[in-house]
């Protein structure tokens, strides 16, 4: 881990703000940030106003599991050409445009679904949005790593986080303001208000579409030999993928829900383990179907090997016996803030804050603090190296989560809310930007999309599975105990960072 002596204002011979890639990532980050709150917090308030139970609201967070399983189809983004679009736009931009169109379509589908009348249709639309948004993220993550040198990755990560958080302001605070302005409140639910709100969000996705059409492909993503196989090989590859995914969906859909055999905490743990087992069985069925298809010669083995086996083998070869510890840190670094974030909006509402106050403090002021923290984290990484700031972010996130216990035991106080949000979001911004830079440093440019998709999927899989039970946990133990547990989840993370900083000689992404 090195400490750079190069002036922070001058990177690769240019002032940091003159790097074109930073502005591209700002706009694409905005496009990437729009869908997230439309699946999480804004949707949770819509469902609550529609009269959906709190436990069911947090279960909707699982609609975003597409983010956690995107590594499964990331190789398609790396290897599969799109008819007409790939030839016109290039390898990355073709997939980016397709995913953005899918995001817009899914948001419109959600807008046309009233949860009071068709909760299942709303759930399907949310799943479709999660899948499309995760695909967009796969491409943007690959572009971010390929657009500029590793020396500037920390600032690229910060700029991406800034754009992402602005998108979250729009789909979080903006959606709440619009829904209230269109006439939907806690006392009076209006489906038309939420429909119009989501249609406005779909319209804002055009920012990403325009950016995609105006930028150029990076040199590493526009290689002439990017698609060396025959068209029939790619078609067969896609068909095997579709059949395998269908097996996963079929098995997971037809497995029963966890039976009620215990009470209290025991039932909660049992339900979580039962769901994890169901996911494991569905993944196993997908693997067996894919393996059988290969044995039958339904897909080109070399293409499959390059898509799935080689990226993983490359990572294991480079990190050896430390690979498992690296993956553990990837999987658990964000567990504390993600688990807390799923229930945050409902918590604010239960504590007596209005939708306008939540929008102003949590979604606007809070996101500004996150952006500030992200840029602070990016510059700190340039000066002190990634592992030190990774440790700082992990410690701050764990400590600031304890502040929510104070909030839970106080009357509604807008100043106290702002103070807690400021501390929590600034620490989260530092942690997130640094973590993205660290994940980027783990990837091999030969397998950019697939390897980063594996890392980013892993970093949200367990937190989101656990976060799906956050409403149930709160109902069982209360908010104060829940926030204490969320904070304690960060303790093993701090130990992992300490262990790896001593054991792993990792090239600083800021100096590569």
How far apart, in whole angstroms, are the C-alpha atoms of residue 365 and residue 466? 27
Provide the residue count of the chain.
512
How far apart, in whole angstroms, are the C-alpha atoms of residue 478 and residue 341? 16
pLDDT band at 473 (very low <50, low <70, confident <90, very high): confident
Q: Of 55-69, 88-102, 288-302, 481-495, give the lowest mean pLDDT range.
A: 55-69
Read off the tokens for 316: 């294991």
- Residue 330: C-alpha distances to residues 325, 397, 489 (Å): 9, 15, 14
Q: Of 176-185, 196-205, 309-318, 454-463, give the lowest mean pLDDT range.
A: 454-463
The pLDDT of residue 58 is 53
| 54 part of a folded domain | yes
How far apart, in whole angstroms, are the C-alpha atoms of residue 58 and residue 35? 17
Domain that holds residue 263: 230-299
Is the backbone of residue 413 left (phi > 0), alpha (psi -120 to 50) or beta? Answer: beta
Number of domains making up the chain: 2
The pLDDT of residue 69 is 80
| 379 part of a folded domain | yes
The Cβ of residue 103 has, within 10 Å, a number of other Cβ atoms equal to 29
| 5 part of a folded domain | no
Residue/partner pairs of 353-359 with CB below 8 Å, 24 or more apart: 353/412, 353/414, 353/417, 355/45, 355/176, 355/179, 355/180, 355/185, 355/186, 356/176, 356/177, 356/180, 357/414, 357/417, 358/176, 359/172, 359/173, 359/174, 359/176, 359/177
pLDDT band at 505 (very low <50, low <70, confident <90, very high): low
Read off the tokens for 376: 């602070």
Q: Which residues pair with 14 in a beta bridge?
A: 11
CA 261, 266, 271: angle at the middle one, nearest 5?
65
What is the radius of gyration, based on Cα positions, of the chain?
A: 22
CATH code of the domain containing 90: 1.20.1250.20
Mean pLDDT of the residues in the chain: 84
% the chain with pLDDT above 70: 89
Q: Looking at per-residue confidence, does 249 or 509 come out higher? A: 249
| pLDDT tens for each residue of 370-414 | 889 988 988 888 888 889 999 999 999 999 989 999 999 988 889
How far apart, in whole angstroms, are the C-alpha atoms of residue 299 and residue 294? 6
- Residue 443: C-alpha distances to residues 66, 177, 450 (Å): 21, 40, 9
How far apart, in whole angstroms, are the C-alpha atoms of residue 168 and residue 149? 27
pLDDT band at 224 (very low <50, low <70, confident <90, very high): very low
Q: Closest Cα to residue 435, out of 382, 372, 481, 391? A: 391
Instruction: Please check whether residues 52 and 136 belong to one and the same domain.
Output: yes
Q: What is the mean pLDDT of residues 265-288?
A: 85
pLDDT band at 35 (very low <50, low <70, confident <90, very high): very high
How crowded is the C-beta side of 211, counted as CA atoms within 13 Å? 24
The pLDDT of residue 149 is 60
Read off the tokens for 192: 């038309």
Instruction: Please check whether residues 289 and 316 belong to one and the same domain.
Output: no
Instruction: Please check whether residues 224 and 135 belong to one and the same domain.
Output: yes
Pairing relation of β-strands 14-15 and 10-11?
A: antiparallel
How far apart, in whole angstroms, are the C-alpha atoms of residue 204 and residue 287? 38
Instruction: Please check whether residues 282 and 368 belong to one and the same domain.
Output: no
How far apart, in whole angstroms, are the C-alpha atoms of residue 114 and residue 1? 53
Instruction: Please check whether residues 198 and 274 belong to one and the same domain.
Output: no
Instruction: Please check whether residues 237 and 214 belong to one and the same domain.
Output: no
Instruction: Please check whether residues 184 and 330 belong to one and the same domain.
Output: yes
Q: Looking at per-residue confidence, does 512 or 38 come out higher? A: 38
The Cβ of residue 273 has, within 10 Å, a number of other Cβ atoms equal to 11
Q: What is the mean pLDDT of residues 330-357?
A: 83
Read off the tokens for 415: 């100043």
Final residue of a structural domain among 276, 299, 322 = 299
Instruction: Please check whether residues 243 and 223 belong to one and the same domain.
Output: no
- Exposure string over 19-44, b if 16+ CB within 10 A, otherwise e: bebbebbbbbbbbbbbbbbbbbbbbb
The helix (run of H) or strand (run of E) holding residue 10 is strand 10-11
| pLDDT tens for each residue of 144-165 | 888 766 667 777 888 898 899 8
The pLDDT of residue 6 is 40
pLDDT band at 138 (very low <50, low <70, confident <90, very high): very high
Instruction: Please check whether residues 269 and 308 belong to one and the same domain.
Output: no
Q: Looking at per-residue confidence, does 273 or 292 come out higher? A: 292
Contact predicate 201/106, CB 8 Å: no
| pLDDT tens for each residue of 76-88 | 888 888 988 988 9
Instruction: Please check whether residues 319 and 411 belong to one and the same domain.
Output: yes
The Cβ of residue 321 has, within 10 Å, a number of other Cβ atoms equal to 8
| 286 part of a folded domain | yes
Q: What single string gives the DSSP state of each residue in 34-54?
A: HHHHHHTHHHHHHHHHTT--H
Place of tokens 């006439």: 183
Residues with Cβ within 8 Å of 302's Cβ and at least 6 positions away in sequence, in order, are none
The helix (run of H) or strand (run of E) holding residue 11 is strand 10-11
Final residue of a structural domain among 299, 314, 343 = 299
Instruction: Please check whether residues 27 and 59 belong to one and the same domain.
Output: yes
Q: Which residues pair with 10 in a beta bridge?
A: 15
The pLDDT of residue 389 is 92
Final residue of a structural domain among 258, 277, 299 = 299
Instruction: Please check whether residues 148 and 164 belong to one and the same domain.
Output: yes
Residue/partner pairs of 189-197 with CB below 8 Å, 24 or more apart: 189/49, 189/50, 189/51, 189/116, 191/50, 191/114, 191/116, 194/46, 194/49, 194/111, 195/111, 195/112, 195/114, 196/111, 197/42, 197/111
């Amino acid at each position: 881990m090195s400490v750079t002596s190069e002036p922070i204002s001058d990177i690769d011979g240019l002032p940091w703000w003159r790097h074109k890639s930073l502005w591209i990532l700002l706009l694409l980050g905005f496009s990437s940030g729009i869908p997230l709150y439309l699946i999480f917090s804004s949707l949770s308030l819509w469902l609550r106003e529609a009269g959906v139970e709190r436990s069911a609201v947090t279960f909707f967070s699982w609609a975003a599991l597409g983010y956690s399983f995107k590594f499964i189809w990331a190789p398609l983004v790396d290897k599969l050409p799109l008819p007409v679009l790939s030839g016109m736009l290039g390898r990355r931009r073709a997939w980016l445009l397709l995913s953005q169109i899918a995001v817009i379509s899914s948001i419109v589908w959600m807008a046309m679904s009233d949860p009071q009348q068709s909760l299942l249709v709303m759930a399907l639309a949310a799943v479709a949005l999660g899948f499309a948004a995760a695909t967009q993220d796969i491409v943007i993550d690959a572009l971010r790593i390929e657009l500029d040198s590793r020396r500037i990755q920390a600032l690229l990560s910060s700029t991406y986080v800034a754009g992402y958080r602005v998108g979250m302001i729009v789909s979080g605070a903006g959606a709440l303001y619009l829904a209230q302005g269109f006439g939907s409140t806690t006392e009076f639910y209006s489906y038309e208000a939420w429909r119009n709100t989501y249609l406005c969000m779909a319209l804002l996705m055009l920012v990403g579409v325009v950016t995609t059409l105006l930028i150029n492909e990076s040199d590493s993503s526009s290689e002439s030999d990017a698609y060396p196989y025959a068209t029939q090989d790619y078609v067969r590859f896609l068909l095997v993928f579709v059949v395998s995914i269908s097996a996963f969906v079929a098995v997971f859909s037809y497995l029963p829900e966890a039976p009620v055999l215990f009470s209290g905490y025991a039932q909660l743990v049992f339900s979580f383990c039962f769901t994890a087992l169901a996911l494991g069985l569905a993944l196993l069925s997908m693997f067996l179907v894919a393996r059988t298809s290969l044995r039958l010669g339904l897909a080109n083995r070399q293409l499959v090997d390059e898509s799935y086996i080689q990226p993983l083998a490359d990572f294991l070869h480079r990190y050896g016996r430390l690979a498992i510890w690296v993956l553990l840190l990837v999987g658990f670094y964000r567990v504390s803030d993600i688990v807390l974030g799923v229930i945050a909006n409902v918590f604010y509402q239960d504590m007596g804050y209005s939708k306008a106050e939540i929008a102003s403090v949590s979604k606007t002021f809070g996101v500004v603090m996150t952006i500030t923290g992200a840029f602070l984290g990016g510059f700190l990484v340039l000066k002190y190296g990634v592992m030190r700031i990774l440790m700082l972010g992990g410690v701050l996130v764990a400590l600031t989560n304890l502040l929510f216990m104070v909030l839970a035991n106080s009357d509604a106080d807008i100043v106290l809310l702002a103070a807690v949000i400021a501390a929590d979001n600034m620490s989260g911004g530092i942690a997130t930007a640094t973590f993205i830079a660290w994940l980027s440093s783990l990837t091999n440019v030969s397998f950019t999309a697939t390897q980063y998709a594996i890392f980013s999927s892993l970093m949200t899989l367990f937190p989101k599975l656990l976060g799906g039970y956050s409403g149930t946990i709160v109902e069982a133990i209360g908010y104060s105990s829940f926030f204490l547990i969320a904070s304690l989840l960060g303790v093993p993370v701090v130990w992992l960072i300490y262990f790896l900083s001593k054991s792993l000689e990792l090239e600083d992404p800021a100096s590569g």
